[in-house]
Structure 1
Amino acid sequence: MSDDSIRRWTELLHSAWSLLKHVDPGGAEDVSACLRSIEPLPAARPFRWHSATMEDGMGGMAASEPSGAEPAAAAQFAAVLTHEAQHSKLSALLHMYSLHTPDVTHRFYAPWRDDPRPLRGMLHGVYAFTGVARFWRGHMLNGWAPEEQALAAFEYALRRGQLLRVLPTLLHDARLTALGRRMVGRLLETVADWQDESIRPDCLEAARAAVEDHWLSWRSHHLAPDPGLVADLARRWGMGPPDREAAWRCPEPRLLPDPAARHLDARAVLTRMRLDRTTAARLRTATSVGHLVLGARPADLHLLEGDLPAAERLYVAEIRAEGGAAPGPGTLWAGLARALRGRPGHEEAARVLTRYPELVRQVYGAVSAGSGTAPDPVAVAGWLGRTLIAP
């Protein structure tokens, strides 16, 4: 390591430790007890720190090397330290006790990942992110660094919302042991006690949108609708919707992991950048938003700024440009759902994109492949909204 790199690491550790002690004493105690070494990884892009621990390497962690230009670097790294300390604690527990029965087939929705996760990975995720939510809650409530309060409120609301989406379902999974169910139950009690706490309305709304955004994008990639239903709907496209009595009902989709799913959190990262003055200025002057945030698109900026018609036009243009049977990434369809919501004339399209994004995406791909042309995705979604009966 160069002298400059050592200096940046030293400054970051000192500032992150001071913040952690002040706003989250419990997290600081865990880090002090668990952490012994840090392996530097290459510097990451803004708000996408990389970090990891190994189950057999108690006390060690790997983390992105500071570049010296990260926004809210101390707070971000304090959250990373808390996150990895949680993993280390749970790894130690899993060496001594069984929290679930052996299982290599079942996969779950993890709001912080692009891919479906096994049960063991889910337990690690909910345990780690409960610690992260606790840190951001302390940051928000203690008023440390006033310029970071909007970011802290967003991060806390985001992690709280993600945990409340998955913990209730996880609690009732039959593969948990009694001890595993007790742990998940205690986590749920902790997060549920936080759910009525006051959060800045704009940050709370942004977090709620980010939670739903990721879920819709994830569904679009990893849930496969009934292929017979997709084929029937694609054949009927353009014939007009049937009578409501003859409308189709949707069978439950099946999980079919899509390795092409990438950067499903891009709009959440853009939201973080907009909450930081330095990175917000970089967004305004960037010639390519995708260069700043992998997976982001120009339409995303219009969406987050509230220019919904402009966002719709750009999402539609990009979906149609895919051509053929390629229905475009799930993030495009989730963005289109948000751009249409609450706008007169788009009620059916917004409703079906919110309830069945995977079906709309696959039907659109089948229609495009069958006709050799790319129809208007809003028209296809609106037709499906009038054709399908939602359970």
Structure 2
Amino acid sequence: MTFALSGRAGHGHDPIRVEHPLGKPTPGWQAPRALPLDLPDGPRTVAMHELGPYRMQTGADGTPADLVPEESIHRWTDLLHNAWSLLSRVDPGGAEDVSACLRSIEPLPAARPFRWHSATMEDGMGGMAASEPTGTEPAAPAQFAAVLTHEAQHSKLSALLHMYSLHTPDAAHRFYAPWRDDPRPLRGMLHGVYAFTGVARFWRGHLLNGCAPEDEALVAFEYALRRGQLLRVLPTLLPDARLTALGRRLVSRLLETVGEWQDEPVRLDCLEAAQWALEDHWLSWRSHHLVPDTGLVTDLAQEWCTGPSDPATEAAWHYPQPQLLPDPAARHLDARAVLVRMRLTRTTAAQLRTTTNLRQLVLGARPADVHLLDGDLPTAERMYAEEIRTQGGSAAESGTAWVGLARALQGCPGREGAARALTRYPELVRHVYASIKAKSGAAPDPIAVADWLGRTLVAL
């Protein structure tokens, strides 16, 4: 399409007259819509990026997605206003960044509770995509304020990366990211730690500057979780030889900032829930992406099936460091963390109690997870074990089932060996179990296999 000075646009043989300003519709011209935003330095607008062929979301047949209905525009306006008001009150620095960066929002399909989707493009400074609001999202202003901060951080770092090198070329996916299902390359990790430092700063400001009593538990959990995630991975990035001097300085400053928050008090129950969720994600991640030595797996499975050559002198096995092999089937490793959030909010807690389709409400969740979080450990243990026996250890979600079993067994008398194996090397238990089933043609008791490994293995 070409524009002429006369205000006419031509596409083939069908000219279209475009009036000035461009926000005025004419026949054949769909004026872009905008969301109003009141800022301290005066009102401005954020464009609703719903036109054109470059939207991330398309129709089922690959055609451009439909325009946003008028009622959705009203919801977008209310959400942006409420999120901005909250952000400017509790995190003025983050609000200033959003004000400087945000120019347009592209709507994505509505998300499930506590799973907002958002994105920016490195070459599209000022634009972001985000889940379309439905008006029923829990803690929507706070959740969307965190999304705005997250994407503004990405935009800032993208601009920096266009000007400076923060690392030498590196495309290997080898880092653990506590907010992702998959291993990440160094560039992705830098984006992640920079974005989530901003997110943690927002939740910290929300907690310290006052939040409604009914929101305190969720806000405290979010802050403790993001702080814990950053403190887990930032120290592992700092010594990486692929960082340039500027990249190392960036990581060092982030670690310094988050380190200053480390000892700030957080409600004990929320802190413990965040630590539980952090460990749960790590165990699920390694269960999927770490692979033990195949020879060791084969030998252990053989010994289980046939017994040691000399039962009287059974020796301990040594477990060498497993290898990283990304598992493309790993999905929804944060499902139990989402369930924790839902239990902290009154409306979503009620949804959990009444839903008849948990897996649709929280992708990756299972009824055993609800029993686990309710403290009904015997029922959770039985359900996880039955699922593992049925799936055999090779199905896409079995890694998180094994970790759920580990959490159910922790602290249970008589289960110490199984809990030890599943919390130290869940990937080995999973692979040995699958090998045993393949060799014997029968599904043994997963707890018995885990207990045996926990008693006979010595981790190096």
TM-score class normalised by the smaller sequence: over 0.9
Task: Give the 3-state SS of the residue equivalent to 1:237 in structure 2.
Answer: helix
Q: 5+ unaligned residues in a row in structure 1: which ranges? A: none
CA drift of 1:105 comes to 2.3
Cα pair 1:324 1:374 within 8 Å, conserved: no
Question: Structure 2: how far apart are the matches of 1:348 and 1:143?
Answer: 45
Q: What count of residue pairs does the alignment treat as equivalent?
A: 391
Question: Structure 2: how far apart are the matches of 1:203 and 1:225?
Answer: 34
Could you report, residue by residue, the CA deviation over 1:348-377 in whole angstroms, capped at 9, with x for unpaired residues?
Answer: 111111110100000000001111111111
CA drift of 1:144 comes to 2.1
Partner residue in 2 for 1:82: 149
1:71 corresponds to which letter in structure 2?
A: P
- Kindly indicate whether residue 135 of structure 2 is the aligned counterpart of residue 68 of structure 1: yes
Partner residue in 1 for 2:41: none
2:325 to 231, 251, 256: 256
1:228 to 295, 306, 309: 295
Partner residue in 1 for 2:268: 201
Question: Structure 1: how far apart are the matches of 2:429 and 2:84?
Answer: 48
Aligned pair in 2 of structure 1 residues 129, 244: CA closer, same or farther (>3 Å)?
Answer: farther
Aligned pair in 2 of structure 1 residues 371, 168: CA closer, same or farther (>3 Å)?
Answer: same
Cα pair 2:320 2:459 within 8 Å, conserved: no
Partner residue in 2 for 1:170: 237
2:300 corresponds to which letter in structure 1?
A: L
Structure with the higher fraction of residues in strand conformation: 2
- Out of 304-313 and 238-247, give the one that drifted further: 238-247
CA drift of 1:246 comes to 2.8
Question: Structure 2: how far apart are the matches of 1:254 and 1:314?
Answer: 30
1:207 corresponds to which letter in structure 2?
A: A
Higher-Rg structure is 2
- Out of 17-26 and 100-109, give the one that drifted further: 100-109
- Kindly indicate whether residue 88 of structure 2 is the aligned counterpart of residue 21 of structure 1: yes
Question: Structure 2: how far apart are the matches of 1:198 and 1:234?
Answer: 47
- Kindly indicate whether residue 346 of structure 2 is the aligned counterpart of residue 277 of structure 1: yes
Cα pair 2:381 2:408 within 8 Å, conserved: yes
Cα pair 2:224 2:270 within 8 Å, conserved: yes
Aligned pair in 2 of structure 1 residues 150, 324: CA closer, same or farther (>3 Å)?
Answer: closer
1:210 corresponds to which letter in structure 2?
A: A
Query: Scaled by the length of structure 2, what TM-score is found?
Result: 0.83
Partner residue in 1 for 2:459: 390
Partner residue in 1 for 2:209: 142
Task: Give the 3-state SS of the residue equivalent to 1:81 in structure 2.
Answer: helix
CA drift of 1:288 comes to 2.1
- Kindly indicate whether residue 421 of structure 2 is the aligned counterpart of residue 352 of structure 1: yes
- Kindly indicate whether residue 220 of structure 2 is the aligned counterpart of residue 160 of structure 1: no
CA drift of 1:40 comes to 0.7
Structure with the higher fraction of residues in helix conformation: 1
Cα pair 1:322 1:328 within 8 Å, conserved: no
Aligned pair in 2 of structure 1 residues 328, 41: CA closer, same or farther (>3 Å)?
Answer: closer
Kindly indicate whether structure 1 or structure 2 has the higher relative contact order, using CA contacts under 8 Å at least 6 residues apart.
1
Could you report, residue by residue, the CA deviation over 1:74-131 in whole angstroms, capped at 9, with x for unpaired residues?
Answer: 0000000000000000000000000000012242111100111110000000000010
Cα pair 1:261 1:329 within 8 Å, conserved: no
Question: Structure 2: how far apart are the matches of 1:345 and 1:275?
Answer: 32
Question: Structure 1: how far apart are the matches of 2:313 and 2:262?
Answer: 40
Query: Scaled by the length of structure 1, what TM-score is found?
Result: 0.97
Supply the RMSD in Å over aligned alpha carbons.
1.5
Q: 5+ unaligned residues in a row in structure 2: which ranges? A: 1-67
Question: Structure 2: how far apart are the matches of 1:307 and 1:141?
Answer: 34
Aligned pair in 2 of structure 1 residues 140, 192: CA closer, same or farther (>3 Å)?
Answer: same
Partner residue in 1 for 2:97: 30
- Out of 237-246 and 106-115, give the one that drifted further: 237-246
Partner residue in 2 for 1:372: 441
Cα pair 2:393 2:399 within 8 Å, conserved: no
Question: Structure 1: how far apart are the matches of 2:162 and 2:174?
Answer: 22
Question: Structure 2: how far apart are the matches of 1:133 and 1:325?
Answer: 36
Could you report, residue by residue, the CA deviation over 1:307-366 in whole angstroms, capped at 9, with x for unpaired residues?
Answer: 111110110011111148659521101111110001111111111111101000000000
CA drift of 1:289 comes to 1.2
Runs of 4+ in 1 over 3 A off after TM superposition: 240-245, 323-328
Cα pair 1:323 1:373 within 8 Å, conserved: no
Question: Structure 2: how far apart are the matches of 1:244 and 1:311?
Answer: 36
Task: Give the 3-state SS of the residue equivalent to 2:166 in structure 1.
Answer: coil
Cα pair 1:326 1:365 within 8 Å, conserved: no
Question: Structure 2: how far apart are the matches of 1:326 and 1:243?
Answer: 36
Question: Structure 2: how far apart are the matches of 1:22 and 1:7?
Answer: 23
